């Protein structure tokens, strides 16, 4: 029987308002690494134990979030409760083409203070993790001292053979200085053994002239396993000393909401890799999951809408999607 692998993800899950200003709004919750954690738990079954590291307040909303996260299948031993702090809040407005515009209220959120203690639960249990996942947003919400501790832990994890995964989610408004963001992203690429690069974000962060330039720059990153996402264009994957391979995305009849498209892809890719799939197989499954997600509103789609993509209770992965190579 396959050993259960333990995955830790760090970031922030915020309260979500989804709708138009002064119009109808739906209340929910989400965040980039949190969305990835939930989809990873759904698709990993008993083969993966998914732990989420963040901080919440001691208020009733924080308590309700914890209750719901447990229902989402996450292990919550790494969550800190900080007296006097509150969860962050964001609003998503979606246009007629399914594209999103975000507004954030998170300056005093509890997650920013996760490392404001001598030793966090994440650091305390670092020896347990088979994989550790963080994103550009994970870095953006932390003060400099917190980022230093995250990098130190990630470096130690990689040195002992754990899979360290960096997703380059870049939100310019979360960084006071683009130069600081670039410096931290480059450090993240250095400590990562696997990187998931969205070409548009790489272009914006480094001020490149085109998406094609961003892809070329991304391909030069010295990360052992690298995935470059290009929207509807084929995904590029490279592992070890192998060459680049293309994996087709899946066409959908109608895009409803692109929220969590990248987050779900990351979950599908990482989950399949941890369960033994090749990079091409993993990317095909990630694209398949993302295609399903963007046909539904909100970051976390109903379980019934992806039941065929979920692992069985014994941890058996769903049937692989068909991959296309050049």
For residues 101 and 21, the answer to whether their CB atoms sit within 8 Å is no
Token pair recorded at residue 135: 């994103």
Per residue, the 3-state secondary structure of 19-39, as one string, reads ECCCCCEEEEEECHHHHHHHH
* Token digits of residue 21: 């200003």
The token pair that represents 104 in the structure block: 């954030």
Asked if residues 10 and 134 have their Cβ atoms less than 8 Å apart, the reply is: yes
d(C-alpha 258, C-alpha 102), whole Å? 12
Of 130, 201, 263, 308, the active-site residue reads: 263
In the chain, the DSSP E strands lie at 5-10, 14-19, 25-30, 48-53, 55-56, 80-81, 89-94, 100-105, 131-135, 163-167, 194-198, 225-230, 233-239, 245-247
Is-catalytic flag, 263? yes
Show which residues are catalytic. 263
């Amino acid at each position: 029987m396959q050993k259960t692998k333990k995955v830790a993800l760090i970031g922030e899950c915020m309260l979500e308002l989804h709708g138009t200003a002064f119009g109808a709004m739906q209340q929910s919750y989400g965040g980039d690494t949190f969305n990835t954690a939930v989809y990873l738990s759904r698709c990993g079954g008993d083969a993966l134990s998914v732990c989420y590291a963040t901080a919440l307040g001691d208020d009733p909303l924080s308590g309700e979030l914890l209750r719901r996260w447990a229902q989402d299948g996450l292990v919550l031993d790494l969550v800190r409760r900080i007296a006097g702090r509150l969860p962050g809040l964001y609003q998503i407005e979606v246009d007629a083409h399914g594209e999103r515009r975000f507004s954030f209220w998170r300056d005093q959120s509890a997650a920013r203070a996760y490392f404001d203690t001598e030793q966090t639960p994440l650091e305390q249990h670092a020896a347990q993790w088979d994989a550790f996942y963080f994103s550009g947003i994970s870095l953006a919400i932390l003060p400099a001292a917190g980022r230093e501790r995250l990098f130190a832990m990630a470096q130690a994890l990689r040195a002992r053979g754990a899979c360290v995964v960096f997703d380059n989610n870049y939100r310019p408004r979360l960084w006071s200085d683009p130069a600081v963001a670039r410096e931290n992203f480059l450090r993240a690429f250095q400590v990562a053994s696997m990187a998931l690069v969205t070409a548009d974000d790489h272009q914006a962060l480094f001020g490149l002239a085109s998406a094609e330039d961003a892809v070329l720059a991304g391909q030069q990153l010295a990360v052992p396993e690298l995935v470059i996402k290009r929207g509807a264009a084929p995904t590029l994957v490279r592992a070890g000393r192998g060459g680049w391979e293309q994996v087709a995305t899946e066409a959908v009849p109608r895009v409803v909401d692109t929220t969590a498209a990248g987050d779900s892809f990351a979950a599908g890719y990482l989950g399949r890799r941890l369960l033994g799939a090749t990079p091409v197989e993993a990317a095909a499954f990630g694209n398949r999951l993302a295609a399903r997600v963007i046909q539904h509103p909100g970051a976390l789609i109903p379980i019934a809408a992806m039941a065929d993509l979920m692992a069985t209770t014994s941890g058996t992965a769903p049937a692989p999607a068909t991959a296309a190579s050049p």
